[in-house]
Amino acid sequence: MPFFACSGLMLLILPSGIPNQQIPDSSVMARIREEGLNHSQLMPTLSYLTDVIGQRLTGSPSLKRANEWTRDTMTTWGLSNAHLESWGPFGRGWQLDRFSAQVSSPQAIPLIAYPKAWSPSLRGAVNADVVLVDVTDEAGLKALKGKLRGKIVLNGGDTPIPARFTPQGTRYTEAELKEMTEPQAEGGRGGGPGGRPGNFRAAAALNGAKLRFFMEEGAVAVFDASRSDDGTVFVQSASVPPAALAAAPVAPPASPSATPGAAPVAPPARGISVWDKSGPKTLPQVTVSSEQYNRIVRMVRLGEKLKIQLDLKASFFDKDLNVYNTVAELPGTDLKDQIVMCGGHMDSWHSGTGATDNGAGVAVAMEAMRILKALNLHPRRTLRVALWSGEEQGLFGSRNYVSQHFGSYPAPAGGAPFGGGGGGQNANRGPLTKLPEYDKISAYFNLDNGTGKIRGVYCQGNDKVMSLFSDWLAPFKDLGATTVTIRNTGSTDHVSFDAIGIPGFQFIQDTIEYNTRTHHSNQDVFDRIQGDDLRQSAVIMAAFLYNTAMRDEMLPRKPLR
């Protein structure tokens, strides 16, 4: 709402000639709104990033192309100091070159399927017999000894697919938003993902034992089912077997009847990731749409002798193990040595084009900066946008940026990879080493929950910013952004800032189809994007950036735990 100060103190002009802005300037908010809603360049930006560049798996050539394109695009918009910053080395990049899969006998059934990232190539196309492995413990594997060589393994039985009677795309109701503002239940996790089921460790151990067994027995490849239906395939990274269970040398798999299968494999060292340069070996792993997987399982159980024709060729890239964040700035004026940041992660998974996860957040952050530059506004503090990589593997890009620029805790015993700033909700792991920029960053704002519009903001336990953020959202009440909650949310790049005491915030977004359809799936494509929602989000992010940059003081910080 408009603000007209009666106090002479509130009308003071700083020596630089810049008004002392403490609450939103209604005229500036109106200009941001007009530019962002009626002159947006967000959707063309997102279309090029997703449709033209496409998937952006960490370490892949397409991610490097996206780094360079976003840098060059922001330079043409007039942003300053647009550049790439390495945080690596990360490990081997991976790119899918060729893939096909179909049941070839007793009838042709083309499959909706995708190989898991970092799966190795086959030596050539195979036409292999299919074996169903549906066991609940390691003892169940013994009966299969000697029966898997040269075979394609179906890892697990069929899963019932119930009818849906509720919509998959949803927005927060007013009641749900109000509930977010209530005191959180003891032990609750705020807005972040729910905890893993109690049997997660046991299931992971069994899966590791099975993969080790399949490798030792000389299987060609392992197929499993997607966790969703309607032909949507949720697929991420290939697995490697636990080293402690895989000490024996692995013999080459027997060639199927026509062409040879996968190359020989050997167990990796404990703690090494599938993308590590040392080349932990594993089997080709493929995820199939649940309806088709279920049909194949039922056919096998009914006595059909199935063959699957499989072709998989992938390239690994290990000449340059570095991976990059893209960074650009809008310089400040009288407080230009202080920083306000925004961002989202640019890396994605490979079956879709990374539109909702997280091309949307990247396009919103870029558009917020473009809006402020196009309006020729002159923020007091320097605004900096960072487009992260390696988020999907563990917030690597933002964690290392934070540790390189602001500060870090000692790496925990056993060592988390890259040991940067992030990893918990402001979780103190020892003495914090602060770098000079630590006291010069006011806040970081993140967007990474899909295509839905902003409905509010998580304050990450910082009660000192709640009333401030409420004032900042007030001009956009008619656009649906009203909720300010003290609660935490996790699992994305603001955590890297919050973990070392820097105010880092994630916006509340309507979920739309994020968890049900697009998150890490082949349906994460431009067509699932809601353009009006993202334009609204860019306007609000631009407003938060501007308001943070114009305050006399930096945003208040909560105590380090």
- Direct distance between the N- and C-terminal alpha carbons of the chain, in angstroms, rounded to an integer: 36
Report CA 506 to chain centroid distance, whole Å.
13
Picking from 205, 131, 194, the residue whose alpha carbon sits closest to that of residue 491 is: 194
- Inform me whether the pLDDT recorded for 249 exceeds 60: no
Q: DSSP readout, 260-307?
A: --BPP--PPPTT--TT-TT------EEEE-HHHHHHHHHHHHTT---E
Q: Where are the domains of the chain?
A: 8-90+322-550, 94-174+184-317
For residue range 230-245, what is the model confidence (pLDDT) as tens digits?
999 999 999 998 864 3
- How far apart CA 513 and CA 521 sit, in angstroms, is 11
DSSP-derived letter for residue 197 is P
- Secondary structure (3-state) at 201: helix
Q: Which of 4-13, 78-87, 220-229, 397-406 has the lowest mean pLDDT?
A: 4-13
The structure tokens listed for 276 are 């590590």
At which residue do the structure tokens 């998974």 appear?
A: 349
pLDDT (0 to 100) of residue 22: 64
pLDDT (0 to 100) of residue 144: 96
Please determine whether the domains at 8-90+322-550 and 94-174+184-317 fall in the same fold group of CATH. Answer: no
pLDDT (0 to 100) of residue 196: 47
CA 47 to each of CA 43, 84, 310, 322: distance values in angstroms, whole numbers, following the listed order? 6, 22, 32, 26
For residue range 18-64, what is the model confidence (pLDDT) as tens digits?
444 467 899 999 999 999 999 999 999 999 999 999 999 999 999 99
pTM greater than 0.85: yes
pLDDT (0 to 100) of residue 253: 37
- How far apart CA 123 and CA 252 sit, in angstroms, is 12
pLDDT band per the 50, 70, 90 thresholds, residue 180: very high
- Secondary structure (3-state) at 374: helix
CA 241 to each of CA 118, 266, 283: distance values in angstroms, whole numbers, following the listed order? 14, 10, 10
- Inform me whether the pLDDT recorded for 460 exceeds 90: yes
For residue range 335-356, what is the model confidence (pLDDT) as tens digits?
999 999 999 999 999 999 999 9
- How far apart CA 181 and CA 75 sit, in angstroms, is 40
Question: 486 with 466: CB under 8 angstroms?
Answer: yes
- Inform me whether the pLDDT recorded for 185 exceeds 70: no
- Degrees to nearest 5, angle at CA 360 with 359 and 362: 60
pLDDT band per the 50, 70, 90 thresholds, residue 198: low
Question: 503 with 555: CB under 8 angstroms?
Answer: yes
pLDDT (0 to 100) of residue 496: 98
Which residue would you say has higher pLDDT here, 256 or 483?
Answer: 483
Handedness of CA 320, 325, 330, 335 (dihedral sign): negative
CA 177 to each of CA 59, 182, 455, 470, 481: distance values in angstroms, whole numbers, following the listed order? 38, 9, 8, 14, 10
The structure tokens listed for 174 are 């007013």
What residues pair up with 95 in beta bridges, in sequence order?
315
**Per-residue pLDDT averaged across 270-293, rounded?**
88
pLDDT band per the 50, 70, 90 thresholds, residue 164: confident
pLDDT (0 to 100) of residue 414: 54
3-state SS record for 502-542: CCEEEEEECCECHHHHHCCECCCCHHHCCHHHHHHHHHHHH
Q: Which of 252-266, 309-323, 332-346, 543-557 has the lowest mean pLDDT?
A: 252-266
Q: What is the CATH number of domain 94-174+184-317?
A: 3.50.30.30
Phi-psi region of 394 (alpha: psi -120 to 50; beta: other; left: phi over 0): left
- How far apart CA 242 and CA 265 sit, in angstroms, is 14
- How far apart CA 36 and CA 540 sit, in angstroms, is 9
**Per-residue pLDDT averaged across 72-77, rounded?**
98
Is the N-terminal amide bond of 358 cis, ω within 30° of 0? yes
**Per-residue pLDDT averaged across 178-190, rounded?**
72
3-state SS record for 321-345: CCCEEEEEEECCCCEEEEEEEEEEE
- The CATH number of domain 8-90+322-550, selected from 2.40.40.20, 3.40.50.1970, 3.40.630.10, 3.30.70.3270: 3.40.630.10
**Per-residue pLDDT averaged across 471-478, rounded?**
97
What residues pair up with 356 in beta bridges, in sequence order?
none
- Inform me whether the pLDDT recorded for 217 exceeds 70: yes
Mean pLDDT of the residues in the chain = 88
